[in-house]
Structure 1
Amino acid sequence: MTITDWPRTAAEPDPETAAPAAVSGAPAPVSRTADPVSETDEFVSETESGTGTKTSTAKLTGTQKWTAGAIVAFALALAAIGLYLSFEHVAQFAHEELRFGSLGKGQLFAIGIDVGIMVMIAVDLLMAWLKRPISWIRYPVWLLTAATVVLNAASGAPKERAWQFLDYVAAGAHGVVPVLFIMVVELGRTSIDRVVRPDQDERDSIPWLRWVLAPVATSRIFRRMRLWGVTSYPEMTRRDQELIAYEQWLKRKYDGDISQASEDELLPMKMAPYGYTVAQALAMPDQQDQAAQERAEEAERRRLDAETRSEVAQAESAAERLRAKGKVELVQAEVDGQTGQARAHARAQVSAAEKAAELEQKALENAVVAEARAREAEAERKEAEERRAAAAADLEKAGLERKAAEQRKAAAEADAVAAAEAGAIETERIALARKAAAAADLDAAELERRAAQKRKEAAEADRVAVAEAQAIETQAIAEARRAAAEADRAAAETEAAAAETRRAAAETARLEAEEQRQAEVVLADAARAKEEAAEAVRAAAETRRAAAETELAAVEAEFAAKLKPRERALRKVARMILTVGGDADQLPLADIQRELEVTSPGTASEYRKEAAQLLADGYVPGQ
């Protein structure tokens, strides 16, 4: 950037009077500058014209309004006088000298000039009053007024003789009134502008005394004021003083050789013709560096913004591609879903048909199985009848055993009589024990009868269980057929109903199998329980019979051997040990006390010990 390209930092020139800039793009200086560099006293000269005083913003009083009205009236009178004096001379001169065809045309020419001047003056004053002045309109007014003055002066020029002094005075007299009128108009325009724009800076005039004393330096100051819009004459003189003081300071610094100063130090002298103050010129390098840095930062910011926009555009493009791809995948998924749904529906219908056929086949198989189970139930019923007959036989046998027990009771009573004849207390106890044994046998016979009755009831329960199992199987078959019909209906309606039907059918089949298995287990357990009960009853009866026979044989042998009561008691305990498996320790002492009717556990223990020794010595009941 060159010095003349530096941005404008000073105040803009007044548009009314500013001339075109001499240097393109050169800055205009600010009218308010910093303090001078040198320590010289600041000199501010006063203006002699008084134009630097600002107009009062107060409203006009009544007297001032009347005064203004009188001034306007006198100005109009002056305009009328000027028009009257110049009209005839201009019209006559136009007809005779300017070759207008007639006097009337010359008069129209004079009227046109005067009307044009008045119209432009009126527009100028009106726009000034509206605070929108037109600065160039005064120049055509001045030009037309000058033309009027020239025409008036030419109309009074001497003919056929040389110009004399009075001729010049006469020619000048023709231009006095128009010039006076233009001065009045300019005065009125300036007054209106000051009234309507009281805050506008006024342009100071340079004192005439300065023009006389220093015409060259004053012309340079005037040129700079006009070029760079400096309205204050004291401000302009202060700038000139600062520049002179700065130049003197440089001379002192470099011993009178300013050429040794750097380019930055010489800037105030170089930039003074362009309206820069000393402070502004010295601040230019820093401002230029700052501006260059700001331009670099702005360029970097624009580059980053461009990169950001590029990245955003790329991201948006990628997002658009992803959205487009997502839409394609969505459509593909919809098509695949519809295809899969159709296939699933077809598979569901086929599966439902297969399931219905399978359920029908299972129903037929269940019917066959139910029929077979009915036959098995009938066979089991017959077997139960046989078991009931066997139970009746057992009951009859129990009656016979009861009779045998009664006979044994009679024998025991006979033994009691025999024992009474012996007269021994021990024999009486033995008789009582035998009597108790006989009573126990009677109780055992009664229990056997009750067991036979229980077996009969168990057989009846078997028959009822078979009937209930058959009813359960029939109900399961009906439930399976109903589930099959429900599955057919659901498969015809929707795929979801078909799936639910398959699940229900599977659950039904599982429950049916579980019920069937449980029924079979119950039947098997019942049959096994009946068999075990019958076997237990038979074994108990056999055991009791064998015990009764053994006891009877032992008693007969003991009576035949005429053993003592203690020996018979030891042999009885030995037989009791054999009934518990042959281990003496497994026989409770309480049982010995109850059978032998002894109260002392020590005595019972002695009996058990001696009985064990008797068995060890080879005792065998019945021998």
Structure 2
Amino acid sequence: MTAAGAVMWGLTFLAVAGGAVLAGIGFTGSYTALVNLGFRHNLGDFSYAFPVGVDVGIVVLLALDLHLIRRRTPWPVLRLLAHGFTAATIYFNAASAGSIANDPTGSAMHAVIPVMFIAAVEAGRRLVIRITRIEAGRPSEGVPLHRWLLAPWPAWMMFRRMRLYGIDSYQRAIELERERIVYRVLLERDHGSDLRKAPADALLPLTMARFGLSVDEALALPAEAEERARLRAERREAFEADLAARADARTADTQIFRLRTQGKVEAAGFEVGAETATAKARAHARTVAAGREAEAVMAAAAAEQEAAEARRRAAETDQAAAETEQAAAETRRRAAETERQAAAFERACAQEEEAAEEARLRAAEAARAAAETEAAAAEARRRGAEADRQRALAAHDRIALEEASEAARLRAAEARRRAAETEMRALEMEDEAKLTPSARGARKVARMILAAYGPDHTGPVNPEAVDLQTIANALGVSIATASQRRADAADLLASGYSTPVHAS
């Protein structure tokens, strides 16, 4: 250890030990003086506790002040209270000697005793504060006494700036003051003694001096303000861009929702179109069947008309044949008359013979015509018979169609009866199970789908066998609710649901 180190250790030991001794002497003297003062002022036995409350209160308040400073949460009120207690204990010790005006020397002797105690405690406090600030990297240096004496107003302004703006180093405060003075001199050189002619930005270091800013910090304010303005503009642009992006997202969501809604509407339109096409196909099939039946009736009527026409032609042919036969008989009669007259009239015989031959030829032609007419009549009778057979077949088909229609009506009635029984049984089971309206609706739709396939159907079923409009009409709900009920029914059918009639 060097000599200087040894001297410092010695001084430290002397300060600590001497301070402790002085503090003990001061506390002891103060305690005795305050006890006597308490008894003189009728405090009674509380006189023994009164000095402890005053002197120890000073130590406790200063200790709390040091603790808060250590925690970087100082409370100046504690130090003011400690100083108030210090003034009080000095006054009480001075008053314990009697009247201060009558015996100032004795009063001063009693007042010196607590001053030693307070000085030792304050010295310890300042040492702790100094160590704390050094550990925190903020060595605190106040304005020295000589500056207060030599330049009181500048010293006060410097002290004010140091306290207001947290300038802990007196050396730092001196540097700031020197910078401002030099900068002011340079401004006066450039712009004259009237600094109002200088630009506002150049006057910033002088304007901001009372706020504890250095020359460089003050001159940097415009650039910093521009940078902050730029950052605000960027944040505003980013915010506006974010708002625009959110608006675009909302627009896109709206368009997506509109497209989905349009798709649902188109799907519903397709379903309605499909149902309409099915109805049209069924109506067309019924129309075609009716048309074919009408064609069969018209064909039968046409055949009947053709048969009647053939019979009329046959009658005309028969009449012509009868007339021809009658003409032939007349000719034969005339031939006989001619033969009978041949003997008398030989010369006219050849002529009569020729006439007879011609008559025979005409008779043969008439016979041939009669044969052709008979054949035409036979063909007409055959066509009439075919028409009668067609009418019979058409009548048979009508009877068969009526029988099939009657059977279909009977089967439909039986199916409706069985469906009613099934529905009644299902409703009873649902009442027993206390199902919700939605569950009842789903089961009713499932039964409608099973009914569409018939009681003898086995294997999977297609829920779309029953259209949404039929479901909506049966349940008295909207198309959307009908779609949900059909989906629920599909889930029931997939899980093995069957009507009560077919349930095992």
User: TM-score band, normalised by the shorter chain?
Assistant: 0.3 to 0.5
Q: Report which structure shows greater RCO (CA 8 Å, sep ≥6).
A: 1
Q: Which has the larger radius of gyration?
A: 1
Structure 1 or 2: larger helix share? 2
